[in-house]
Every structure is written in structure tokens, then in C-alpha cells.
Amino acid sequence: MTFTLSERDFAFYSHRYGRWLAESGNFELLVGASSRDIRERRQVSLQSTRSLNYSFTEYSFFREIWSNQELKPLLVELMPNWLGSQASDGRPASEANVEDFLQDQPMIKFPAITQGEIDAADVEAFIRQCNLLTFTP
């Protein structure tokens, strides 16, 4: 028996983007009479070809941006002094060890966290800059 899977079969509904998204990745397909009676397993890879703009707000968490290798340099440019103060002696700001508690804060709090290095207008401009960029899910 054979069957064809489409992009939609791998998709989930994203409220952030208001659409169904299929993310790139490796998946394991399980076929069986029930979840306790798996008779066949297959590994498949999916490579998305869609390009989407980021969709951040000032309430997006620092972690979402900091963990993205494309966006991380923009954060370093936005708040080099504060990130530099979070780095070990002699290490660049891009290697800052930002505590989990701080990474789980929304960007709108960073004017206070950075003690004025940035302000709310800087955060808004930064978010607009990020949202002009695209990524492949």
C-alpha cells in the first residue's frame, strides 16, 4: 500500500501568522492498527520552500530573538553595553550569558532592564526592523 502526503499533512495552525505552516525538519511516520500496535516506521524530511516575514511585537520574548542566529546581531547592535555587561571578561557581547529569567521577559521591558540604554521607541523600531526580514519555517 502507498499513499502520498502533502505539505498540509505536516502543518499546524499558527495564530501568530494566521495560517497553516509546515516547518522544515525530520519526522517519523508510524503506521499501525493502533498506537500500541505499530507495524511500520519511516523517517521523512521536509524542507519548506515558503518565505515568511517575522511577526514580532514589543511583547515578544527576548529569548525568541536572542536564540535566532540571524536576529542576534541586531540585538547586539541595539543594546551593546548591556549585553557586554552580561558577557564574561574579554568575551564579545554576542556571547553574553543572559539569565533565563531575563530571556523570558518581553522586549517592552528592556528599557528598564538595560537601565535606559534603549527606550520604548528603540524597541518599536527594532521590532519593525526584525519584521521586515524573512525566514523559511
Encode pLDDT of 39-49 as tens digits: 999 999 999 88
Residue 82 in contact with residue 46, Cβ under 8 Å? no
Backbone phi, psi, residue 90, to 5°? 80, -5
Residue 135 in contact with residue 54, Cβ under 8 Å? yes
Encode pLDDT of 52-107 as tens digits: 999 999 999 999 999 999 999 999 999 999 999 999 988 999 999 999 999 999 99
What is the DSSP-derived secondary structure letter of residue 106? Answer: B
pLDDT of residue 38 exceeding 90: yes
Grid coordinates standing for 65?
A: 530573538
- pLDDT confidence of residue 30: 94
Nearest 5°: the CA angle 11, 46, 44 is: 105
Place of cell 502507498: 2
**Three-state secondary-structure class, residue 27:** strand
DSSP per-residue string spanning 13-67: EETTTTEEE---EEEEEEEEEETTEEEEEEEEEE-----EE----TTSBHHHHHT
Encode pLDDT of 101-126 as tens digits: 999 999 999 999 999 999 999 999 99
pLDDT of residue 50 exceeding 90: no
